[in-house]
Amino acid sequence: MIDREKLEAVLDKVRPAIQADGGDVVLMNIREDNVVEVRLTGACHGCPMATLTLKAGIERIVKEEIPEVVEVISV
């Protein structure tokens, strides 16, 4: 099982860049299959670049720091 505190610490590393653009990322759930569910809020919600931010930014960094993570998805 993925440690929620460790995952929050990794998300805290990416938050400043997201918040600089007026958005934020909120950890919603860690599923049993090691898929992480997040919600992009603020300016990120509905932004055409949100998918790129999620996959190329958030997911890449989370998987580097916590290899057990299979995928990061937006809910």
Mean pLDDT, to the nearest integer, of 26-43? 96
Sign (positive or negative) of CA dihedral 53, 14, 27, 43: negative
Q: Which residues contact 29 (CB under 8 A, 6 or more apart)?
A: 36, 37, 75
**How many other CB atoms are found less than 10 A from the CB of residue 10?**
19
Percent of the chain exceeding pLDDT 70 equals 100
Whole-structure pTM value = 0.93
What's the confidence (pLDDT) of residue 69? 98
CATH code, 41: 3.30.300.130
Identify whether the C-beta of residue 38 lies closer than 8 Å to the C-beta of residue 61. no
For 46, the domain range is: 4-74
Number of domains forming the structure of the chain: 1
